[in-house]
Homo-oligomer: A and B are copies of this chain.
Amino acid sequence: MYFEFLHVLGSCVDLFLLIFEFTDTSNDEDSSRSMRDFLDEMRAENIREHLRYFTRLPHLAGTKQNLRLAEEIKEEWLEYGLDSVEMVPYDVLLSYPNTTQPNYISIVDHLGNQVFNTSLAEPVPEGYENISDIVPPYNAFSAQGQPVGDLVYVNYGRTEDFSQLEREMKINVTGKIVIVRYGKIFRGNKVKNAAFHGASGVVMFSDPADYCATGVQPYPDGWNLPGGGAQRGNVLNLNGAGDPLTPGYPAKEYTFRYRLEEGVGLPKIPVHPIGYHDAIHLLKNMGGPIPPNNWKGALNVSYRIGPGFTDTFQTQKVRMNIQTNNQVTRIHNVIGRVRGAVEPDRYVILGGHRDAWVFGGIDPVSGAAVVHEIVRSTGRLLRRGWRPRRTIVFASWDAEEFGLLGSTEWAEENAKVLQDRAVVYINADSAIEGMYTLRVDCTPSLHTLVYKVTKQVSSPEVGEEGMSLYESWKSNQASGGFSPFRISKLGSGSDFEAYFIRLGIAAGRARYTKDKKTERYSSYPVYHSVYETFEVVDRFYDPSFQRLRAVAQVRGGLIFQLADSQLLPLDASQYADSLTKYAHSIAQLGQKHQDALITYGVSFDSLFSAVENFTTAASSFHERLKTLDRTDPLQVRMANDQLMYLERAFVDPLGLPGRPFYRHVIFAPSIHNKYAGESFPGIYDALFDIEHAANPRRAWEEVRRQISIATFTVHAAAMTLTPPA
């Protein structure tokens, strides 16, 4: 019909096209001018104010303070000028310490007398003495109980640590209380491993080796974790299920809830976190073998493995006293929208959580403050008459700390429209975890855009005036010994999970980070402690707030480009390059078992051939894009649909083995560490520890099955890029 109109116009066609092209170009120019305005509008001092304001009180998920904060954010987003902002409640399973029976760990003598008890709370930082409702350190969703037993020290509690303990040290943890240090992997994986091996309880401690940087003072004189600080955190193994009682469906009033004992991912044993001052008391008298060097932390103790205490302390036992309660509690997401001018049915989502363990100075408020400033800047542009081509959705998620609950429930409730319409999900958790350089984890099709956007952002570092963030990032990474421009795979542990790994929506995240090469501590020292305050950012991490501003500009710039570009800035060829890399790396893993590959007829050839096919399809697709008639709205829409649905094509509704909500065949969190992203996770898991498989024939069959699924999926994705008819 559109073409027919051109015919009807007859001799006017040339003029018509001229005008159209002119308006089109002008639109692109407008868009890039608006992008500049959008980035420039974001102010360091505003981000500081947002951070200040949002961290004045604790705002734990499910509490009044966090609801109040949600209401404030809603009001401000409306004032800033969003088209609509709504509160979206769910009733999910949360977990809180018992307010009358505190959690602690004791050393008890042979008469049952408590000879030592761990502290019930962290020393409150100066200036916050009058704040009530600071939840003491605890591990959310811990089972209740008072297990008594000997301690066994299992390093970080990783799969390989338990293997070493059992296979090499021949120590069985059945009925023992396991003590592990925080770090390296997600704490829920530690608990899963301990429970799997029969432990009756888990004590987690923060070792200075993992939570103190050299030459840095403990808070408040520096940004290290003080000895009285401890890391809160949930110990679920949800594998993407969201609310443990309503897996797969939103936790609404009409929703069927499983019984607690049927809930997904709830640990069956008590778990409790302590600081390193308390840890010394538990560790110092331990007996048993001397640990390998890489099991030793930085405390002045021997790190002996146990079981139990040595010498005169042999009769002493450890008792855990855990009274934490699970309860179904109302949470609230805040969802704001800017209606797209041309394609209102295409959604570009920027989401991050609002709930914090205590003040959330870094996690999540450094991120939430950045989102707030992005919303403010968006509002300014809207008031000047700008409107993005596509709809932008801003989300302030609740209960991320309790298992990504707010974001997952919303993804579940909106799964169908998101599947049809979501272009991208950009995550906005903590915006800073170090003072070194940018860190980006994202889907391969976003790589090109990330580079483009970081070139439009200035380096926030003193002495790098006039340098782009891109240049700064590049030079720092190079000096850090990494390949320059390194962008990592997405793992999990934040709110992008349901969008990316369950629904197959292109996703990414960006933040300021530490120098991985020299700073070996896990996350950042005060992570999830009461010392995550406004001051830790204001005094140490980003006194000028230029780093947070740069992160705001990266996150905002990504959203802007994805919402406003006529052609979606997604790059299928980057995906092809990544797939090639992943295929080689998984095949290499397989090659370690040359003989078995032959014996069991396992080959990676089909996968390589699928990746080649995908590479060709991607490059032809981008070749065709060059000659696309951009004046034809349907041509543009069709090409954009192919780009949007590319990520969706990697999702298998059948899910990964035993993990029905992890459906992305290319990327999933490692089953050994939820934080780490694994490529070709199905094949990877099938190959893991295959030399110890009870039935090698079956185990290699599973490898073949997984290679076949990956092959199919890559072929199917290639198909989405070929001309549609």
Q: Which residues of A contact B (CB under 8 A)?
A: 1-5, 8-9, 19-20, 22-24, 27, 83, 248-250, 252-256, 337, 339-345, 347, 391, 413-417, 419-421, 566, 606, 609-610, 633-634, 637-638, 641-642, 645, 648-649, 652-654, 660, 663, 701, 704-705, 707-709, 711-712, 716-717, 719-720, 723-725
Contact = CB atoms under 8 A, between A and B. Distances in A.
B344 A712 contact: no
Which 8 pairs, one residue from A and one from B, show the smallest C-beta to C-beta distance?
Answer: A345-B724, A254-B606, A256-B708, A344-B725, A653-B653, A256-B705, A391-B725, A339-B725
Contacts of A711: 254
Contacts of A83: 725
A434 to B, nearest CB: 37
Contacts of A252: 712
Contacts of A725: 83, 337, 339-340, 344-345, 347, 391
B345 A638 contact: yes
Which interface residue of A19, A345, A723 has the most chain B CB atoms within 10 A?
A: A345
Given A256-B707, A416-B645, 20 more contacts: A1-B27, A4-B27, A5-B20, A5-B23, A8-B22, A8-B23, A254-B606, A256-B701, A344-B724, A344-B725, A345-B638, A345-B724, A345-B725, A415-B716, A416-B717, A417-B716, A417-B719, A419-B648, A633-B634, A653-B653
A460 B566 CA distance: 53
Number of copies: 2
A3 B391 CA distance: 17
Contacts of A2: 342, 633
A654 B248 contact: yes
13 contacts: A2-B342, A4-B23, A9-B19, A248-B654, A344-B723, A344-B725, A345-B638, A345-B725, A347-B725, A391-B725, A413-B712, A414-B716, A416-B648
A345 to B, nearest CB: 4
Nearest to A722: B417
A559 B326 CA distance: 55
Contacts of A391: 724-725
Contacts of A717: 416
A634 B712 CA distance: 33
Nearest to A716: B416
A714 to B, nearest CB: 11
A641 B27 CA distance: 26
Contacts of A654: 248, 660
A720 B416 contact: yes
B8 A712 contact: no
A249 B634 contact: no
B720 A420 contact: yes
B250 A712 contact: yes
A663 B415 CA distance: 15
Given A20-B5, A654-B660, A255 B420 contact: no
A701 B262 CA distance: 13
A712 B8 CA distance: 49
Contact of A712 (B255, B645, B648, B652): B255
